[in-house]
């Protein structure tokens, strides 16, 4: 689609979860943004600062269980600290949904170290996720 296309304008929404800097404040959360296809309601999350799942629950158009892709721009805490909590919330919201043996619930893309960080955080918290996810570490 070309920039300014009516299709693009009608179908894509940007939902800001946080636009603050490295530290949350009472009025501004840290980095997080959802790109929502309003035609299919598929949602992609860009960065996941702490409290992103709480911010998403405050916005009616943001549906955590509709997030199919997560993109982490870099490994600073204000961009990744919310990821383990979001994954736990996502797993809770998807309980009982039928999925095939080859279905992957969430695809996660980010820099080197993201897979290790997420596995370590989830294992230390004894988080048992009943969803599947794949972490793709990009070399850039």
User: Looking at the annotation, which residues are catalytic?
Assistant: 78
Q: What is the 3-state secondary structure (H, E, C) of 31-64?
A: CEEEEEECCCCCEEEEEECCCHHHHHHCCCCCCH
d(CA 113, CA 137): 7
Tokens of 114: 């993201």
d(CA 75, CA 46): 13
127 phi, psi to nearest 5 deg: -80, 120
Asked if 110 and 73 touch (Cβ cutoff 8 Å), the reply is yes
| Burial class of 128 by CB neighbour count within 10 A (0 to 12, 13 to 18, 19+) | exposed
């Amino acid at each position: 689609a070309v920039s300014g296309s009516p299709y693009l304008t009608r179908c894509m929404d940007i939902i800001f979860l946080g636009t603050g800097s490295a530290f949350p404040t009472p009025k501004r959360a840290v980095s997080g943004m959802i790109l929502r296809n309003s035609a299919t309601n598929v949602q992609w999350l860009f960065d996941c600062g702490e409290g992103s799942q709480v911010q998403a629950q405050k916005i009616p158009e943001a549906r955590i269980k509709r997030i199919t892709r997560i993109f982490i721009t870099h490994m600073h805490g204000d961009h990744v600290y919310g990821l383990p909590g979001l994954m736990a919330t996502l797993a809770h919201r998807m309980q009982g949904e039928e999925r095939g043996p080859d279905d992957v619930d969430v695809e996660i893309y980010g820099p080197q170290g993201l897979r290790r960080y997420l596995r370590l955080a989830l294992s230390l918290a004894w988080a048992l996720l009943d969803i599947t996810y794949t972490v793709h570490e990009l070399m850039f």
